[in-house]
Chain A
Amino acid sequence: MGELSQAPDWGNSTDRAVPPELLLRLSAEPSAAAQARDALAAFAETMPAEALADLRLVVTELVTNSVKYGPGGPIVVSVKRGSDGAVSGEVLDGGRAGVRMRRSPNPAGGGLGLQIVDAVASAWGVRPRSTRVWFRIDPIWVA
């Protein structure tokens, strides 16, 4: 089971009314993404339903990638909501191999997850020489 705790410090945040902020440590097992989605319920009261749906989807895809392709150690998910309403976060699993999208995902095989992240997140990317993936979801949701 994953642990859920308040993030100790996000750096320059001085306004304690802005949270919630989440820091999750999940075991690399098939239920990891569902555990992350349960924890994201903490954002339900401060986000539009559509943005929360996007957040659930992005975190699910990134955590699932770490479960399937990561080194097998703990998966760390951090999510914070900025004062502008945008939600940003990271998923890291300790891998070093890098992450890349396939050009033509095979829906029955794989590669579709990052295509979905690309479609749903306002921005996302990978920290150099890692599998540490960051994302941002802006408050205005466009279908």
Chain B
Amino acid sequence: MNHLQDPEPGLESLNGRTLASGDLLIRVGGDGEVMRVSLQGELDLSSAGALTGELDRLFDGRSQAIVLDLEQLEFIDSTGIACLVGAVRRDARGVLRVAGARGEVERLFRITGLDGYLPKSD
């Protein structure tokens, strides 16, 4: 369980939190050991910093598995790609997995060669 402050109390859930940054909604939930970070919207320069902050916070915790759910991510650019690559590189314990990339996001993963680099959960 985490009991972190949520900047937008209306979006808070019992065992997680939701942040909005730019056109991105970041939902973090789980039991502490297994965490799911779900992205909804668009990941670019206006939101990459917020995602980096959330993932680094989880890397510093006791999570044994972190699933980054991209099912509802509709857009990603080079800044978003760099954010994901940076996260994988900082994941010293190797707990991060990526799931659910589709559409434009999946296409950019293919164009950049990232689809073979990211650890997948599904």
Contacts and interface: CB of A to CB of B under 8 A. Distances in A.
Interface of A: 30-31, 33-34, 37, 53, 56-57, 60-61, 64, 67-68, 107-110, 112-113, 115-116, 119-120, 143
* Chief secondary structure at chain B's binding surface: helix
Contacts of A116: 77-78, 108, 111-112
A34 B86 CA distance: 22
B6 interface: no
Centre residue among A33, A37, A53, A64 by max chain B CB count within 10 A? A33
* Chief secondary structure at chain A's binding surface: helix
Contacts of A110: 82
* B interface, size bucket: 20 to 34
Contacts of A57: 77, 104, 108
Nearest to A114: B78
A61 B77 contact: yes
A107 B78 CA distance: 8
B11 interface: no
B82 A33 contact: no
Given A34-B22, A113-B78, A116-B108, A108 B45 contact: no
A109 B107 CA distance: 21
